[in-house]
Amino acid sequence: MNSIINLLAILTTVLGAMLLAWDIIRPFTGTTYKVEDTTYRGSGQAEKTPEYIAWETKYRKKAFLGFVLIVISAILQTINL
């Protein structure tokens, strides 16, 4: 039983770490910012693109799930002591 709990803890740690590092594993490849409302001098307000906002939302959800999996892994390892 202990070996099953240890294996489950290792798997949840690895999966959680991959989800936390998702932006390194699969970085965003589109346009991050666009400049809107340029003024006479050529400066404007940079805004995030809708594509980047959607990617960032997905990343935050994956990162939160990864954090939860790592916490579950730590609890499993603590229980197994």
Tens of pLDDT, residue by residue, the chain (81 residues): 888 888 999 999 999 999 999 889 889 999 998 877 666 666 667 789 999 999 999 999 999 999 999 999 999 888 877
The b/e string for 7-28 (b: 16+ C-beta within 10 A; e otherwise) is eebeebbeebeebbebeeeeee
pLDDT in the model for residue 37: 67
Q: Which domain holds residue 6?
A: 2-79
Q: What total number of domains does the chain contain? A: 1
